[in-house]
Structure 1
C-alpha cells in the first residue's frame, strides 16, 4: 500500500462529509497514544497555551523529582526520557515561544539536579546541545521576545 501525500489527504478530507470525518478521527485516535494526545491538545488545550505550558512544567517537575539519583546511569536514562517527553509536547504545540520556554525550563531543572551534572560528561553534552538548540530557536523570534528569552538563557549559561 502506498501512503498518500499530505496534499492528497487534504483534498480528500475536504470532500468527506462531517460524520464520516468524525469516524475517521476517532478511529485514528484508537491506534496510537500520540494520536490521542495530539487530538486532546488540538481540541482542549490549544486555545490556552499558557495553561498548557504550565501543565507540562508540572509534569517536568514530577519527572525530575522521581529520578533515581543513586547512579549516573539512571540519571542519564531518566533525563533522556524527560527530554523525549518534552519534545513530544513541543511537537504537539508547534509554537516557537512554547518550545523555547519548555526547553529553558528543562535546562533549568537539569542544571539544578543533585548530584550536579558537571560530574558526568554525557549530561554536560546533552545540556550544551539543548542550550545551542535554544539559541538557534531564539534567533527566529521577534526582537522583543528574543531579548526576553536571551536574558533567561544567559542566566542558565552563567
Structure 2
C-alpha cells in the first residue's frame, strides 16, 4: 500500500463531515500511543502552554528520581530516555520557547545530579550537546527572549 502525501490527505479531509472527521481521529488514536498523546495535547493542553511545561517538568523530575545510580551505564540509559521524552513533548508543542525551557530544565537537573556527570565523558558530552542545541534554538527567537534565555544559559553553563 502506497502512503498518500500530506497534501492529498488534506484535500480528502476537506470532503468529510464533522462526524466522519471525529471518527477518523478516534480511530487514529487507537493505533499508537504517540497519536493519543498528541491529540491529548492539542485538545486539552495547547491552550495553556505554561501548565503543559510544568506538567512535563514534573514528569522529568519523576524520571530523574527513578534513575538507577548503581552504575554510569544505567544513568546514561536513563538520561537518554529522559531526553527522548523531552524531544517528543517538544515536537507536540512546536514552540521553540517550550523546547528551550524543557532543555534548560533538563540541563539544570543533569548538572545537579548525583553522582556528578563530570566523572563520565558520555554524560558530559550529552550535557554539552544540549547546551549547544539550546544556543542554536535561542538564536532564532525574539531578542527579548534571547536575552532572558541567554542569561539563564550562562548561569547554567558556568
Deviation per residue, 1:87-130 (Å, 9 max, x gap): 11000011110000000000000010000001000000111110
- Provide the aligned length of Structure 1 versus Structure 2: 158
- Give, in angstroms, the shift of residue 70 of structure 1: 1.1
Question: How far apart in 1 are the matches of 2:129 and 2:13?
Answer: 39
1:46 aligned onto 2:37: no
Question: How far apart in 2 are the matches of 1:6 and 1:133?
Answer: 29
* Structure 2 counterpart of 1:132: 132
Question: How far apart in 2 are the matches of 1:14 and 1:152?
Answer: 45
TM-score by length of 2: 0.99
Question: How far apart in 2 are the matches of 1:8 and 1:155?
Answer: 48
* Structure 1 counterpart of 2:116: 116
* Structure 2 counterpart of 1:153: 153
1:63 aligned onto 2:63: yes
Question: How far apart in 1 are the matches of 2:15 and 2:110?
Answer: 48
1:86 aligned onto 2:89: no
Measured on the aligned residues, the alpha-carbon RMSD in Å equals 0.5
TM-score by length of 1: 0.99
* Structure 1 counterpart of 2:141: 141
Aligned pairs for 1:28-43 (under 5 A) are 28-43=28-43
Which 4+ residue blocks in structure 1 deviate beyond 4 angstroms? none
Question: How far apart in 1 are the matches of 2:110 and 2:15?
Answer: 48
Structure 2 segments unaligned to the other structure (5+ residues)? none
